[in-house]
């Protein structure tokens, strides 16, 4: 078995081992390992020395053996010499072989060293090749990122960058290229973020251009829903069965749960509609959001997006607005832009999570409402036509209903609607005020004649009055007590009511403003433009016109009572309580009383004028055979006035006029003899006065009203007292109460004195001094001064 030769002892052992071999083959087998282990000449010398030592030892042993056995020793010597010779030869061969092996070993070492070197180079080449391939893969991925960016594939580019950073860069982390690429990753991320933001800004610019169209489409959808709702209501009204009339029974409106449920079958996508040519994709925004969230820049992106949208919001509200002309084109454009902007914000909020909060959307919506409200309010003074305001309200109503569909709060727009309504009501008041003034000023103040059924239908359907005769059986032509102005004013009042309620149109249902404004406006129109104008016309000197005005006052009072009931039933605010009271009702009632007084004034004034023409000769010697001319005129006036001019008065008013006129005539007639200028009254003058009073009393008797006759009792009794033969009865209480109970004590005493003074006119003018003293005592008893 081969072994290592590490010292002299080992060489000696090896030499001895070689010699102990049983054959030459074994000897060679033992010798070859030893020769292979020879690395230097010293070890070869050691081996030779060991062999020499072994040879010497053997020779010594042989010599000892030879000493005992010479022959054998000689033989052994010979054998030894042969062996020695062979050993020498073998040694030579060994040395030659050792040199040959040493040379081969050196060549082998060189080859092995070259092999090792080549293997190292090969390994280095393999490693370099792998490194180059890995670096090339990294470069390929890096270039692929930019290729993806060029193709607007931002998220795949970000994924590739993340894969490059987390996987491939680790494989080449020890190389310089990894450091370079690692340093470029933030810049690449910024580039991706910038590119996707540029794409998003382009998208924002595009949607800003289609925002108005989006709002227009949303308005179209609301208009279509309105039409469908109207058709359902009309169809329900045509249905004879009341069981299915849910709209009329529950008063469902647009955007109510029932309406929304019924409209679910109508498929309509505001954001994607081929018919209306609108298609809005949210991929750029969602991709941008996802990329920034992946980069850990979600908060920053939300802030930047919010700032951008606020800037675009500010651009949505223009600096000025033209509300007049072009059928409110600029207002429609403003509202469509606001609606489209807010709808997009709401859709974005619903499509994302934790990106746009409800508070952000509400803040943008409220700010746009505030800006639009301020802009519209600023330009409202330029609108001076109520019909134009109605169109403005219509656009705002469509806008509000559209935004309520998208669950936006429209409470902030109510003040604007109320402002527009107040201006609308004011313009209506101005327009109808002019109409009322023209109606009142151009009226003929004659009972209204109706000639055709159309005129009758129009007057009856618009006026507030009741007729004693059934309209169906009413024969034409016919005449109503009121004048044409009443019918025309009623028509205008109904038109005014319709115009006011037309404005509300579901927008002001929860507000009492419309009720208060309507009541105030009606009061203003009726009081200031109708009642006051009629009152101004009471200055007329024509009793017939005053009578017609009084009749109109009465009908307007009835109309106001009916209007109060109508306004109470049509009240839009559910929170209001109590009856509706129009000040115009009392004003017309007071106007009617004023007209009555005016009639009394005119009649009494005419009576005064007639009585002022009385030319009594209080010192006449003979009485007149016929009633005085003024008395005949007076009775003729009363008769003709009541039968023609005052015919239109209600019976009770007519009686009051008669009563007041006769009372006034009686007082005026009594004032004639009581006038301070009349000192004496002759019996003839008394007889003439008594004849006139009797004529008046007969006229009143013909009227057949005992109450009217009572007005003349004082006059008749006073004149009877003046003509009495025994005037002393007046100073007896019992007789005075029986015969002259209505005669004023002072007036009776005064007239008796004047008549007493005049009794002597026919007898030479000498008056009894005793009688004079008696009247003096009577005056003193009644507290009269002479």
C-alpha 486, offset from chain centre: 40
CA pair distance 571, 326, nearest whole angstrom: 35
Phi and psi for 272 in degrees, rounded to 5?
A: -145, 95
Cβ count within 10 A of residue 455? 16
Quick one: pLDDT at residue 661?
85
Number of H helices, E strands in the chain: 29, 4
Cβ count within 10 A of residue 185? 16
> Which contiguous run of DSSP H or E holds residue 449?
strand 447-450
User: Distances from the Cα of 301 to the Cαs of 290, 462, 521, 783, in angstroms?
Assistant: 10, 66, 55, 110
Cβ count within 10 A of residue 163? 13
DSSP 465-528: ---SS-GGG--SSEEEEEEHHHHHHHHHHHHHHHHHHHHHTTSSTT-SHHHHHHHHHHHHIIII
Cis peptide leading into residue 477 (ω within 30°): yes
DSSP 594-652: HHHHHHHHHHHHHHHHHHHT----TT-SS--SS--HHHHHHHHHHHHIIIIITTTS-HH
Quick one: pLDDT at residue 373?
92
Quick one: pLDDT at residue 274?
57
CA pair distance 168, 551, nearest whole angstrom: 105
> Which contiguous run of DSSP H or E holds residue 273?
strand 272-273
Return all residues near 347 (Cβ < 8 A) that are at least 6 apart.
271, 282
Helices 629-640 and 651-674: crossing angle in degrees, nearest 10, is 170
Helices 358-379 and 298-316: crossing angle in degrees, nearest 10, is 10
Residue pair 413/373 in contact by the 8 Å Cβ criterion: yes
Q: 447: helix, coil or strand?
A: strand
Return all residues near 198 (Cβ < 8 A) that are at least 6 apart.
none
Tokens 């030892």 correspond to 57
Question: What are the average pLDDT values for consecutive 10-residue runs of the chain, which has 786 residues?
Answer: 53 70 64 65 73 82 72 72 77 81 82 84 84 78 79 77 69 69 74 81 83 85 78 64 46 55 55 64 81 82 86 87 79 90 88 85 91 91 88 88 86 87 88 89 88 85 71 75 90 89 66 80 89 89 85 90 87 68 91 87 87 88 87 86 71 79 88 90 90 90 81 87 83 83 87 84 41 45 44
Return all residues near 187 (Cβ < 8 A) that are at least 6 apart.
none
Domain boundaries, the chain: 8-142, 202-354, 420-597, 613-782
Q: 450: helix, coil or strand?
A: strand
CA proximity to 460, closest of 441, 446, 474: 474
CA pair distance 47, 717, nearest whole angstrom: 198
Domain spanning 420-597: CATH 3.40.50.620:
no
Quick one: pLDDT at residue 489?
92
């Amino acid at each position: 078995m081969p072994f290592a030769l590490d010292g002299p002892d080992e060489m000696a052992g090896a030499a001895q081992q070689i010699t102990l071999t049983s054959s030459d083959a074994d000897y060679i087998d033992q010798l070859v390992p030893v020769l292979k282990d020879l690395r230097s000449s010293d070890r070869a010398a050691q081996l030779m020395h060991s062999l020499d030592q072994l040879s010497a030892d053997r020779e010594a042993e042989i010599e000892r053996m030879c000493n005992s056995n010479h022959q054998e020793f000689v033989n052994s010597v010979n054998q030894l010499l042969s062996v020695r010779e062979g050993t020498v030869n073998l040694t030579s061969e060994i040395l030659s072989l050792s040199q040959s092996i040493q040379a081969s070993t050196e060549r082998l070492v060189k080859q092995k060293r070259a092999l090792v070197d080549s293997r190292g180079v090969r390994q280095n080449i393999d490693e370099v090749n792998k490194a180059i391939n890995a670096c090339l893969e990294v470069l390929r991925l890096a270039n692929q990122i930019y290729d993806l960016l060029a193709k607007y594939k931002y998220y795949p580019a970000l994924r590739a960058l993340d894969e490059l950073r987390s996987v491939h860069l680790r494989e080449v982390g020890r190389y310089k290229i990894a450091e370079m690429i690692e340093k470029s990753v933030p810049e690449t991320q910024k580039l991706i973020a910038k590119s996707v933001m540029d794409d998003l800004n382009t998208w924002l610019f595009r949607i800003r251009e289609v925002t108005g169209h989006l709002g227009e489409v949303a308005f179209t959808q609301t208009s279509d829903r309105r039409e469908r709702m109207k058709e359902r209501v009309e169809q329900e009204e045509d249905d004879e069965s009341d069981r299915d009339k849910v709209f009329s029974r529950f008063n469902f409106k647009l955007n109510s749960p029932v309406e929304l449920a019924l409209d679910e079958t109508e498929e309509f996508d505001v954001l994607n509609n081929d018919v209306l040519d609108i298609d809005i994709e949210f991929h750029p925004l969602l991709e941008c959001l996802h990329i920034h969230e992946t980069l850990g820049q979600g908060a920053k992106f939300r802030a930047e997006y919010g700032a951008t949208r606020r800037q675009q919001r500010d651009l949505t509200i223009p600096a000025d607005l033209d509300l007049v002309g072009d059928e409110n084109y600029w207002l429609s454009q403003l509202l469509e832009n606001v609606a489209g902007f807010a709808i997009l914000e709401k859709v974005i909020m619903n499509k994302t999570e934790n990106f746009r909060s409800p508070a952000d959307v509400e803040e943008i919506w409220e700010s746009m409402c505030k800006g639009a409200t301020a802009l519209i309010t600023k330009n409202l003074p330029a609108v001076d036509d109520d019909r134009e305001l109605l169109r403005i309200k219509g656009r705002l109503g469509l806008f509000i209903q559209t935004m309520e569909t998208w669950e936006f709060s429209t409470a902030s727009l109510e003040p604007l609607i109320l402002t527009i309504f107040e201006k609308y009501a004011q313009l209506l008041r101005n327009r109808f005020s002019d109409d009322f003034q023209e109606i009142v000023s151009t009226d003929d103040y004659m009972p209204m004649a109706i000639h055709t059924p159309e005129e009758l239908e129009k007057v009856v359907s618009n006026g507030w009055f009741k007729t004693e005769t059934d309209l169906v059986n009413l024969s034409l032509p016919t005449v109503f007590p009121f004048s044409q102005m009443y019918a025309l004013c009623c028509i205008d009042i109904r038109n005014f009511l319709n115009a006011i309620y037309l404005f509300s149109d579901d927008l002001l249902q929860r507000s009492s403003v419309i009720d208060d404004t309507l009541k105030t406006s009606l009061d203003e129109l009726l009081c200031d433009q109708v009642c006051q104008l009629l009152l101004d016309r009471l200055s007329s000197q024509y009793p017939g016109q005053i009578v017609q005005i009084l009749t109109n006052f009465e009908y307007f009072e009835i109309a106001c009572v009916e209007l109060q009931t109508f306004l109470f039933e049509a009240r839009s605010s559910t929170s209001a309580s109590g009856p509706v009271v129009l000040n115009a009702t009392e004003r017309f009632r007071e106007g009617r009383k004023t007209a009555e007084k005016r009639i009394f004034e005119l009649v009494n004034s005419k009576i005064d004028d007639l009585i002022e023409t009385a030319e009594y000769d209080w010192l006449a010697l003979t009485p007149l055979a016929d009633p005085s001319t003024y008395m005949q005129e007076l009775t003729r006036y009363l008769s003709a006035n009541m039968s023609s001019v005052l015919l239109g008065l209600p019976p009770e008013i007519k009686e009051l006029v008669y009563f007041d006129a006769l009372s006034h005539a009686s007082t005026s007639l009594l004032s004639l003899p009581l006038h301070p200028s009349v000192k004496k009254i002759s019996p003839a003058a008394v007889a003439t006065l008594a004849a006139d009073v009797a004529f008046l009393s007969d006229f009143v008797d013909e009227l057949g009203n005992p109450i009217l006759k009572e007005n003349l009792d004082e006059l008749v009794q006073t004149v009877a007292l003046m003509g009495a033969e025994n005037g002393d009865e007046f100073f007896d209480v019992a007789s005075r109460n029986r015969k002259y109970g209505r005669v004023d004590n002072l007036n009776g005493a005064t007239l008796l004195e004047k008549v007493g003074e005049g009794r002597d006119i026919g007898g030479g003018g000498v008056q009894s001094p005793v009688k004079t003293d008696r009247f003096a005592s009577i005056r003193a008893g009644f507290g009269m001064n002479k």
